[in-house]
Structure 1
């Protein structure tokens, strides 16, 4: 089978898609990736088609309303053009990230099967939870039932994306769509999240297939520098905020919290270019987190689905510092499961880390680890190559 796996999200969206793509290739499938140009070097030898501008080139200031609508029209036009060419010879288009609104339309135009996948249950419509507010938007009104909130969210998405999407659809000879959210998500999406960590609650209106998280098969050894650092003392605390360009916690604050509790620190630079200096601290640019996490005392991170799952699988306590979107959900789940704590804007990072380092949290984290699935990508591959519908 010939697959196009596409996203316009951050590395947290790209990495799982890559894990799935590499596994499908091992099974003899022809796989092509489509993602922002930032990730070309990470494609693992799979054919790669860039879509849109680099994520790192985005302006840090909020867009004006006029700029927002102009960028939406440009984004949708780029999606149509890129995906139409990249998917022309494909049997299946897998689209991740709900901003990628053109993927189902392109699949319809090409007569190709379309599958939508996402990495958190709370971003899918459900009567059991409210829509996740986007950055800058107020939280959902708790006095309104969830179905009504999702209807309002669907109307908002259609008002925002519908004109640009339908302009491209009509130009391609397709009928306009009246519900952009339903068009993108479909009524049978795939949920690439671990059932123990992030369960899909039923009954629900969508026929969701929950596969487990798509974790990469990462066999890279740790660097000699990192191995030597780990061997030189007690387990350090890991700090990493991935693609958060402006983390809520500075490198200095991270090091201060670790030192206050008698721990060394490992800091991942990430997109923010974090840095911390000292003999008791090591800054790294890239490493195998699956290999590293079992050797640290705790993981302090932003609450991305991949990092949260990898830390849970490693059985180490977590301090989640959520910044946006579904990161608040994963922070809540870590707290509810007793495998870590949520750090809020009013908390002391030292106090949060101290709570996470309590023996009972470490015990709970170790007890949960065996329930985290390692075969999510394999389950997804089986679902895609042998569809039940």
Structure 2
């Protein structure tokens, strides 16, 4: 049995499929993955025995900027990606039994699966990415913001934007391989039976007519790596610090300084993750420490709070560790959604807006560091499921078996 997995994006987009790949291989399947050609992804997959099919330009270099590309540049890049997928996916899918795609960027995936006569599964990592009157669509860079607060109308506008961006190029490429045109591109990509790879407590799906969603739980793997010795020394030298990390995002230049000042004002030490933006310390005081890539599953059990950008993976890892969170989300994708979920569950604070001040961070940290917030976070931790990737793998293996 052969399975092709496909996504495009940062580590938060790739790692869930890595977790699924591990479970599929344990079940005896051969797995290939279409993903960005960044070296870290290539090394990660090679270490697991999963063949990487590089698709699109590297992601890390494009993320090292505080400013987004223009709407025209984004539109051009999106269409180029569709052409690239149609050119590369057929060979990647050759001999496969199923194609699992994650993310709206996977415009060509279903058409390639259709032409090859193999199964197709679409997966989302958060409920907010799937159409529902219970929430608004996530922000999509380069597309106009709707002028209505009605969720149904916002999703209708989102569908029109998706059609305007991808309809012509998708149907042109479909015609070239003998497939009929698609009327609703977003529905074509998502299908009527998408999977939701998110924890049902942390990010539940609310029933919506027209969508038969299978919520498997989040896709993650157990990380057994020890923490670096110098980090352990710092952790052991004082009270638990507040972790600060923005993953693949590039916060404003003043954000690290303001964040450390706010953490110090609360009487805590700071632990700064460099991330893709290469963040560092603001001075040489011994109450702060900078780290690179480490085991978050192990680290988060030793910190007072986690201040982060609102990525699905970081939010879930912190929730599972039972640690309070402060989410400072850029207005992109599902990050505002996860900030809202943290606030709604009472396990932390959602910062208002993507540009924090020392004062606004002070207020958010006070909420997160309060004893009742920590108690709620600790109570929620054991409820977070760890078997999502296994559930999804078993579903695939059973259906294809």
Match of 1:84 among 80, 87, 90: 90
Equivalent residues of 2:27, 2:397 under 8 A apart: no
Preserved CA contact (<8 Å) 1:250 1:274: no
Structure 1 window deviating more from structure 2 (201-210 vs 299-308): it is 201-210
Partner of 1:25: 25
Distance 1:69 1:136 in 2: 8
Q: 2: distance between equivalents of 1:173 and 1:137?
A: 31
What do residues 14-43 of structure 1 show as CA deviations (whole Å, max 9, x unaligned)?
011101111111121101111001221222
CA offset digits 1:265-286 (Å, max 9, x no partner) = 1111111111014311111110
* Contact 1:247/1:272, CA 8 A, preserved across alignment: no
Query: Which residue pairs with 1:58 in the alignment?
Result: 62
- Matched with 1:108 is 114
Partner of 2:176 in structure 1? 171
Which residue matches 1:182?
Answer: 187
1:331 and 2:339 correspond? yes
Cα separation, 1, equivalents of 2:246 and 2:199: 21
List per-residue Cα deviations over 1:262-312 (Å, max 9, x = no partner).
111111111111101431111111001001101100000011111001111
SS for the counterpart of 1:348 is: helix
Which residue of structure 2 lines up, in the alignment, with residue 198 of structure 1? 203
Deviations 1:91-116 (A, max 9, x none): 11100110110000110111111100
Say what the alpha-carbon RMSD is for the aligned residues.
1.9
Change (3 A) 1:229 1:62: closer
Q: Does 1:354 align with 2:354?
A: no
Select between 7-16 and 344-353 the one with higher mean Cα deviation: 344-353
**380 and 8 in structure 1: CA distance in 2 versus 1, 3 angstrom threshold:** same
Task: Describe the superposition over 1:200-248 as per-residue Cα deviations: whole angstroms up to 9, x where unpaired.
Answer: 0014321100011111221111111111111111101101110102358
Check 1:383–1:266 CA distance in 2 against 1; reply closer, same or farther (3 A cut). Answer: same
* SS of corresponding position for 1:37: coil
Query: Is the contact made by 2:148 and 2:154 (CA closer than 8 Å) also made in structure 1?
Result: no
Query: Secondary structure in 2 aligned to 1:386?
Result: helix
User: Where do 1:7-26 residues align within 5 Å?
Assistant: 7-26=7-26
> 1:220·1:288 contact (CA, 8 Å) conserved in 2?
yes
- What is the deviation of 1:142? 4.4
Judged with a 3 Å threshold, the aligned counterparts in structure 2 of structure 1 residues 248 and 363 are, in CA distance, closer, same or farther, namely farther
Cα gap change, 1:66 to 1:340, in 2 (>3 Å): closer
Aligned to 1:94: 100
Deviation at 1:62? 4.3
For 2:194 and 2:89, the matched residues in 1 are separated by 19
Structure 2 CA distance for partners of 1:334 and 1:165, relative to 1, 3 Å = same
Alpha-carbon distance, 1:369 to partner = 1.0
What SS does the corresponding residue of 1:267 show, helix, strand or coil? Answer: strand
2:296 aligns to what? Answer: 289
Distance 2:239 2:70 in 1: 49
Structure 2 unaligned regions, length at least 5 = none
Aligned to 2:2: 2
- Range 305-314 or range 238-247, more displaced: 238-247
- 5 Å-filtered alignment, 1:207-356, equals 207-247=212-252, 250-276=255-281, 277=283, 278-323=285-330, 324-345=332-353, 348-356=360-368
The reply on whether 1:155 has 2:167 as its aligned counterpart is no
**Length, aligned pairs only:** 388
Q: Confirm or deny: 8 A CA contact 1:317 1:357 kept in the other structure.
A: yes
Q: 1:75 matched to which residue of 2?
A: 81
For the residue of structure 2 that corresponds to 1:266, the secondary structure is strand
Deviation at residue 64 of structure 1 after TM alignment: 4.4
Give the TM-score taking structure 1 as reference length.
0.95
Counterpart residue number, 2:51? 47
Give the C-alpha shift of residue 151 in structure 1: 2.5
> Residue 272 of structure 2 aligns to a residue in which SS?
strand
Q: Which residue of 1 aligns with 2:385?
A: 373
Distance 1:304 1:248 in 2: 20
